[in-house]
Amino acid sequence: MDETVLAAFAEKGLLPPKEVTHWRAPAGEAFSRPWGGEVISFLAFHDRGLGYPTHWFLHGLLNEWGLEL
């Protein structure tokens, strides 16, 4: 996996732009170990329409107003 694969997913709209979420490819890591403040995500999830967890504040607003994404 490298940055070009992630960039292709971003171009398809399956990942947010790198400038927004600051994603990175694991560079030579045998096991994925996230840095502080990072979340490990799998491309297969994004390929099937799943994404990053939303912020607790958004969940609260949706719940308060009875809305769903």
What would the pLDDT profile of 16-39 be if each residue is shown by its tens digit?
888 988 888 887 778 878 888 887
Dig out the tokens for 19 from the structure: 């400038």
**Phi, psi values for residue 63, rounded to 5°:** -65, -45
pLDDT at residue 25, as a whole number: 86
Evaluate whether 46 touches 14 at the Cβ level (below 8 Å): yes
Our count of domains for the chain comes to 1
Sign of CA dihedral 57, 20, 36, 50: positive
| Rounded distance between C-alpha atoms, residue 57 and residue 59, angstroms | 5
Look up the domain containing 26 and give its range: 3-65
pLDDT at residue 36, as a whole number: 85
Evaluate whether 16 touches 10 at the Cβ level (below 8 Å): yes
pTM (predicted TM-score): 0.60
